[in-house]
Amino acid sequence: MENDIVWTPVMSVNDKNIDSQHKEIIETLRKFGEKIVLRANINQVKGLIDVFEDYSVKHLDHEEKYMKAHKFPELDNHKKLHDSYKEYFKDLNKKLKDEQSDQFLAKLVDIERFLSNWWTNHILVEDRKYALYIKSHPK
Ligand SMILES: [Fe+2]
Ligand SMILES: [Fe+2]
């Protein structure tokens, strides 16, 4: 994909576990983009979306516990962003349920673009906020 995303050290939030989860998320998105280009069959792509939703939602939950443990004062706002991401998947799954393959393939590019933009912005802008807070307020 022309808007392929890669994890770079500037995305680090100074936590090994969370960084590796972010890397996994970005890597999965890259594979998703490849599958679209290769026009993989619809069930493969739906399967990948399910796995991605599951993994990324687990990450968000892990991150919320991490922010709570470090008493990040803007946890509530951050949680709202995570919640709206979860809502996006709820809607998406409803829409995908009845999709016919032709229409579905056309929408994949938009889904991939949305997710790539969401994750790039979220890691670089929003996750950075707790990373900076925790760095300046060590336990
Ligand atoms: Fe994150
Ligand atoms: Fe986050």
Write down the mean pLDDT value for the chain: 90
Using a CB cutoff of 5 Å, list residues around ligand 2, an ion.
Answer: 63, 127
Burial class (CB in 10 A: 0-12, 13-18, 19+), 29: buried
Q: Tell whether 96 is covered by a domain.
A: yes
Block residue for tokens 């493969």 = 44
Q: What's the pLDDT tens digit per position in 87-108?
A: 999 999 888 887 776 677 778 8
Give the pair of three-digit tokens for residue 50: 């399910």
Asked if 1 and 36 count as a contact pair (C-beta separation under 8 A), the reply is: yes
Q: Tell whether 1 is covered by a domain.
A: no
Q: Determine the structural domain holding residue 41 and report its residue range.
A: 14-136
State residue 127's pLDDT score: 98
Q: How far is the CA of 103 from the centre of ligand 1 (A)?
A: 31
Q: How far is the CA of 18 from the centre of ligand 2 (A)?
A: 10
Q: Tell whether 76 is covered by a domain.
A: yes
Q: How far is the CA of 114 from the centre of ligand 2 (A)?
A: 16
Specify whether the backbone of 60 is left (phi greater than 0), alpha (psi in -120 to 50) or beta: alpha
State residue 19's pLDDT score: 98
3-7, 45-49, 64-68 — which is least confidently predicted? 3-7
Per residue in 2-11, is it b (16+ CB within 10 Å) or e — as a string?
A: eeebebeeeb
Q: Tell whether 107 is covered by a domain.
A: yes
Q: How far is the CA of 101 from the centre of ligand 2 (A)?
A: 32
Report yes or no on whether pTM surpasses 0.85: yes
pLDDT at 73 over 90: yes
CATH of the domain at 50: 1.20.120.50
Q: Tell whether 3 is covered by a domain.
A: no
Q: Tell whether 9 is covered by a domain.
A: no
How many domains does the chain fold into?
A: 1
35-39, 71-75, 124-128 — which is least confidently predicted? 35-39
State residue 3's pLDDT score: 56
Q: Tell whether 123 is covered by a domain.
A: yes
